[in-house]
Structure 1
Amino acid sequence: MAFTADKVFINLPVKDLTKSVEFFTKLGFEFNAQFTDENATGMIVNDNTFVMLLVESFFKTFTKKDISDAAKSTEVIVALSADSREQVDELVHKALAAGGKPSNDPADHGFMYAWSFQDIDGHLWEVMYMDASAVQQAE
């Protein structure tokens, strides 16, 4: 039997929790108060996906490994699907206006459109739209 998870929690270390919450609030994300204190917050992506933003010292309590410096190296790219190409552009523009940095240029593959940014801690976020009808035609 294959393993399936009901919910997904992505844990990311952040340098300043308040600034990270301000950044992601400007992008339109909300936070679960039940999972929020001075060390962490639960950012709601959808009903089943959450990004736990953890202050670096607290994040360190979950691992024996060093924390990667996301401004210098990449360990993960968080990819989010959008409902349209316009929504991709809108979210990336909000991220850049809120203090994020550019990552890759927009990529148009016909059936898929993607653009990415770095959050204020350097974590990579890919926002993509996939035309489901084009994918179904290719099958």
Structure 2
Amino acid sequence: MTSIFVNIATTDLERAKAYYTALGCEVNPNFTDDNAACLVWSDEIYFMALTKEYFSTFNDKEFADPKTHAQVLLSISRDSRDDVDKTIEAGVANGGTAPGDPQDYGFMYSRDLIDPDGYGIQFLYMDPVAAEKGPEAYMAEQAQA
């Protein structure tokens, strides 16, 4: 099994834990202390929210402020368009921002969410048929229906 651990630096660990649990993550207490919190999205996807000081012990590079520098675009799927919207609403209600308009491609719906530290995540729903067959085949089927 392959798992993904995304390490993010935070200026406020308690705020990060509250924010991500509001989006549906669970905190794994076995890997959480005063320096870090393990935020569980699923059995394979985890965010490690690390204090900036602790984050810097894993890397010799200069810290790039996520509010001013793009580092990576993360996309996390949801089970429906409604789940995408609910996730965005929970994020905004807990200190995040939702820049831009929703992107609706017919087969895929996505929205962006920026956390209080400036990290961006795109939440998306893709129709399972489009995911299986590809967007062109899905759109061609929809045009014939």
Give the whole-Å Cα distance in 1 for the aligned partners of 2:42 and 2:24: 12
Who is 1:58 aligned against? 54
Larger deviation: 71-80 or 84-93? 71-80
Identical residues among aligned pairs (%): 35
Runs (4+) of structure 1 exceeding 6 A deviation are none
Who is 2:100 aligned against? 104
| TM-score under structure 1 length normalisation | 0.92
Larger deviation: 70-79 or 8-17? 70-79
| TM-score under structure 2 length normalisation | 0.88
Who is 2:141 aligned against? none
Larger deviation: 34-43 or 74-83? 74-83
Alignment of 1:9-28 (within 5 A): 9-28=5-24
Q: Is the 8 A contact 1:104 1:117 kept in 2?
A: no
Structure that is richer in strand per residue: 1
Q: CA deviation at 1:104?
A: 3.0
Structure showing greater Rg:
2
**One-letter identity of the residue aligned with 1:29:** C
Q: CA RMSD in A?
A: 1.4
Q: CA deviation at 1:49?
A: 1.2
Q: CA deviation at 1:22?
A: 1.2
Pick one of 100, 123, 134 that aligns with 1:127.
123
C-alpha distance after superposition, 1:30-86 (max 9, x if no partner)? 110011000001100100111100000000001111111111111012211010000
Structure that is richer in helix per residue: 2
Give the whole-Å Cα distance in 2 for the aligned partners of 1:131 and 1:57: 41
Give 3-state SS (helix, strand or coil) of 2:24's partner.
coil
Gaps of 5+ in 2: 139-145
Who is 1:114 aligned against? 110
Give 3-state SS (helix, strand or coil) of 2:21's partner.
helix
Who is 1:73 aligned against? 69
Q: CA deviation at 1:26?
A: 1.8
Give the whole-Å Cα distance in 2 for the aligned partners of 1:93 and 1:28: 12
Q: CA deviation at 1:101?
A: 1.1
Pick one of 8, 31, 34 that aligns with 2:30.
34
